[in-house]
Amino acid sequence: MDNYGLLPPGGVRPAGGSVIVENMLITDITARETVRPATARTAAQLRHFGMTRGEVERAVAEGVLTRLAPGYFLPSAEVGEFPEDRHLALGRGVLGATAAPSALARITAAAAWGLPIVDADLSRVHLARVAGTVSGSRASSISVMHRNVAASDVCFVDGVPVTTPARTLVDLARTASVRCAVTALDAALHRKLCTRTELARQLGSMTRMWGASRAAETIERADHRAESPLESWSRIVFAGTRLPQPEPQREFFDRWGRLMARVDFFWEELGLVGECDGMGKYFGAYTQRSAQEVVNDEKIRTQQLLDLGLGIVRWNIRDLERGPSVVIDRVAHALAARRH
């Protein structure tokens, strides 16, 4: 189910896919499908606007301002629905208060690119010092500053410097959990934010960095066919079992050659369809149709698959959150039933 083609609130899709940076002249990405993301204000900025400390605290108490972190505030009307929205707003604010040339990096850059954020620590924003000469990182309670990011690995998104999609993804593949990195990689490849060739080239320039071999293994696991974070997570779970590996995004056509259904997973030897139902599939920003319209269409689609003699096994985000064994056991039982 294509959730990757649509961006969450605050997301950005760059024009033309991959970003080209020439001679350190970095072009701002101006093609946006949503309004410019919110940016946290510092206490100093609020004082510059004429607010005293007491007025700031009163605005927080009355719900007019939201404190995102010590010293950083956002008008409550601009606070996004999702944690990554707050994280990105804080990141933009911290970046604006940083004197040295820097860019949003790692998980914060992924948020700026509108990539799905799962299984990640959003308690601190990640920045990168551009063209630095000192190795290592410097951390505070709010942010982590990473060093030595080349100017060619930086572009602008919505007016702020951000590491390029390829650099962002390789950094995640080096340092984040497998689920976090693969989900972001799947989404970026699905949306054509970058290509495997660009990822390979970026990784080739970082072979001496910590986690480079781990990144190569993680990138190999990415699949552009995945259409939602739940599909990415499910595929990771299946890969760690002795179950036969399913084919993702299998298409079925009627006798007139018209596309009848595209299913999330398919075990061809046993004629079993696997469908992972994310909450966004029926509700929220992922669909323009009403919940009832989607449910009715799904019933018709399910019946068409059953008419072909196929079996269907379903799971959702809550099942995986209860533990991967819940889904593994359910799929294993469905496969065993198809063998008899």
Specify the residue for token string 């309670």. Answer: 141
103 Rama class: left (phi>0) / alpha (psi -120 to 50) / beta: beta
Domain boundaries for CATH 3.40.960 within the chain: 230-339
Amino acid present at 26 = I
Amino acid present at 301 = R
User: In the 8-state DSSP scheme, what is residue 317?
Assistant: H
Cβ atoms 11, 114 nearer than 8 A: yes
Give the C-alpha separation, 272 to 275, whole Å.
Answer: 10
Enter the tokens of residue 165. Answer: 């999609």
Give the C-alpha separation, 319 to 296, whole Å.
Answer: 23
214 Cβ contact partners less than 8 Å away, ≥ 6 residues apart: 173, 174
Residue of 230, 225, 187 whose CA lies nearest to 316: 230
Q: DSSP 3-state assignment of 165?
A: helix
Query: For 13-27, what is the mean pLDDT?
Result: 34
Digit-coded pLDDT (tens) for 268-305? 999 999 999 865 443 333 345 566 666 777 788 888 89
Give the C-alpha separation, 293 to 299, whole Å.
Answer: 10
* pLDDT above 70 (res 192): yes
* CA quadruple 228, 8, 62, 41: dihedral sign: positive
Compute φ and ψ for 244, nearest 5 degrees. -60, 140
Q: Does domain 230-339 have CATH number 1.20.950?
A: no
* pLDDT above 60 (res 224): yes
Give the C-alpha separation, 54 to 103, whole Å.
Answer: 33
282 Cβ contact partners less than 8 Å away, ≥ 6 residues apart: 291, 294, 295
Amino acid present at 64 = V
pTM (predicted TM-score): 0.84
Digit-coded pLDDT (tens) for 103-157? 999 999 999 999 999 999 999 999 999 987 666 788 899 999 998 799 999 999 9
Q: How confident is the model at residue 41 (pLDDT cuts 50, 70, 90)?
A: very high
Measured CA distances, 148 to 151, 165, 203, 288, 308 (Å): 9, 17, 15, 43, 57
Class of residue 15 by CB neighbours under 10 A (exposed 0-12, middle 13-18, buried 19+): exposed
Cβ atoms 9, 286 nearer than 8 A: no
Percent of the chain with pLDDT over 90: 72
Task: Say what the pLDDT of residue 134 is.
Answer: 66
Lowest-pLDDT range of 27-36, 63-72, 294-303: 27-36
